[in-house]
């Protein structure tokens, strides 16, 4: 494929270039959902976790390939992009090796460590027009990212730490984002360019039906709150929004809190505040004892549905088949691991704006295409 022909043709039709995407490490489809909402034709998601198959396909138009990314080749990807104006490879490799919780461990012993380099291998083999990836901010300073970046020969890149709250995600979530293009200089659109405003816990989940701990909404099995021990119930009743275990009577404190080093546990066991963004949703965000995941008013942790909404999944995103038992650990993992769909949408809109601008520029009379930037057929 060749840049001038691809983008020039699309602009000649008066339309936006059609971007076909493949989402590696697709999980339950957070990134895919956002890209699709922006207008990207995501044709397939790849993940080796079979639990992702149902949510991915029930909410997104593309195929789900239950496969190890290490077994994919550039040829496989090329066949998925066939017929598109512009090809996109998205890949949010597992972030556990780079998270702050893993800093003390030897990252190289984690089998996920090489997944970013697998993504780099597929970029080299398939030479997509566009690339995007998301990960935890710690990745930016890691050698593995430097190696990945070195491999992006011929690409213009933009990368930086994005505060998702600035794009209207009702959550404190800072993520490292990279977008890259073989078509020309690229950057992520700013919140003001996209018209997104900050959101709060109230604006996201303030009108959800009330729940008692250990129960589920009869109309939505995912709007389910984990059961709490008698001790944790007494603790949450003693917690105010934004407070911590420090306001509890000594008898309610855990042993780790009583130790001097317990000072580091200030964020654990707390209620969210209505008028602020939620803390970062994690894979364990359905447990009161796992972070500031207490409901601002009701004596329970947030429900799985509330966690999904705080991640900007739409209210009806399906995570379990009708009638299937809801497993908190599975659904919590899918939700906590996801790229917020809103961030996916921001990335998608940025890629589409970029491809459209390139197409329009190339369609101008007298524009000479830089042969260096042209992809071989």
In whole angstroms, how close is the CB of 340 to ligand SAM at the nearest point?
8
Range list of H helices, the chain: 3-12, 30-38, 53-59, 74-81, 115-126, 143-150, 191-194, 201-205, 230-237, 255-258, 304-310, 328-337, 341-363
Is the CB of 55 or the CB of 170 nearer to ligand SAM? 55
For 267, 287, 295, the CA distances from 284, given in Å and listed in that order, are 14, 6, 15
C-alpha distances out from residue 26 to 30, 32, 52, 79, 251, Å: 8, 7, 8, 18, 45
> Least CB distance from residue 339 to ligand SAM, whole Å?
4
Least CB distance to ligand SAM at residue 189 (A) = 19
Measured from the CB atom, the residue of 4 and 118 that comes closer to ligand SAM is: 118
Least distance between ligand SAM and beta carbon 97 (Å): 11
Q: Which of 7, 26, 92, 95 is catalytic?
A: 95
Contacts (Cβ under 8 Å, ≥6 apart) of 134? 31, 92, 175, 176, 177, 178, 339, 343, 347
Minimum distance of ligand SAM from residue 284's CB (angstroms): 15
Find the DSSP H helices in 44-200: 53-59, 74-81, 115-126, 143-150, 191-194
Query: Of 266, 281, 262, nearest to 339 (Cα)?
Result: 281
* Nearer to ligand SAM (CB atom), residue 308 or residue 355: 308
Q: How many CB atoms lie within 10 A of CB 164?
A: 23
Where along the sequence are the contacts to ligand SAM (CB under 6 A)?
A: 25-31, 46-49, 52, 68-70, 92, 94-95, 112, 115, 337-339
Q: Evaluate whether 34 touches 341 at the Cβ level (below 8 Å).
A: yes
For residues 47 and 85, which CB has a smaller minimum distance to ligand SAM in the complex? 47
- Termini Cα distance of the chain: 4
Toward ligand SAM, which CB reaches closer, 94 or 151? 94
Toward ligand SAM, which CB reaches closer, 316 or 371?
A: 316
Least gap, CB of 330 to ligand SAM (angstroms):
11
Residue 95 annotated as catalytic: yes
Are the beta carbons of 129 and 86 closer than 8 angstroms? yes
> Which residues are tagged catalytic?
95
């Amino acid at each position: 494929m060749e840049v001038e022909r691809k983008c020039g043709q699309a602009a000649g039709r008066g339309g936006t270039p059609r971007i076909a995407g493949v989402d590696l490490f697709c999980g339950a489809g957070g990134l895919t959902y956002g890209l699709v909402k922006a207008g990207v034709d995501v044709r397939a998601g790849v993940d080796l976790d079979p639990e992702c198959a149902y949510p991915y396909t029930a909410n997104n138009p593309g195929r789900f390939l239950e496969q190890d990314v290490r077994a994919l080749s550039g040829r496989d990807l090329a066949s998925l992009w066939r017929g598109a104006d512009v090809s996109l490879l998205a890949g949010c490799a597992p972030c556990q090796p780079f998270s702050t919780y893993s800093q003390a461990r030897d990252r190289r012993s984690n089998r996920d460590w090489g997944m970013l380099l697998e993504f780099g291998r597929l970029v080299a083999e398939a030479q997509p027009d566009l690339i995007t990836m998301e990960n935890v901010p710690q990745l930016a300073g890691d050698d593995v990212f430097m190696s990945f970046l070195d491999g992006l020969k011929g690409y213009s890149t933009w990368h930086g730490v994005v505060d998702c709250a600035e794009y209207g995600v009702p959550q404190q979530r800072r993520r490292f984002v990279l977008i890259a293009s073989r078509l020309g200089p690229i950057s992520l659109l700013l919140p003001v360019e996209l018209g997104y405003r900050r959101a709060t816990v109230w604006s996201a989940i303030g009108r959800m039906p009330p729940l008692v701990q250990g129960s589920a909404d009869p109309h939505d099995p995912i709007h389910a709150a984990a059961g709490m021990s008698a001790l944790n119930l007494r603790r949450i009743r003693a917690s105010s929004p934004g407070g911590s275990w420090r306001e509890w009577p000594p008898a309610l404190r855990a042993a780790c809190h009583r130790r001097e080093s317990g000072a580091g546990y200030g964020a654990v066991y707390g209620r969210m505040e209505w008028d602020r963004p939620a803390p970062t949703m994690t894979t364990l965000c359905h447990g009161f004892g796992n972070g500031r995941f207490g409901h601002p008013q009701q004596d329970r942790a947030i429900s799985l549905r509330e966690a999904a909404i705080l991640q900007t999944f739409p209210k009806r995103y399906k995570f379990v088949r009708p009638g299937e038992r809801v497993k908190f650990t599975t659904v919590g993992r899918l939700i906590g691991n996801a790229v917020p769909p809103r961030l996916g949408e921001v990335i998608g809109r940025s890629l589409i704006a970029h491809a459209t601008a390139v197409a329009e520029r190339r369609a101008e009379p007298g524009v000479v295409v830089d042969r260096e930037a042209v992809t071989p057929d």
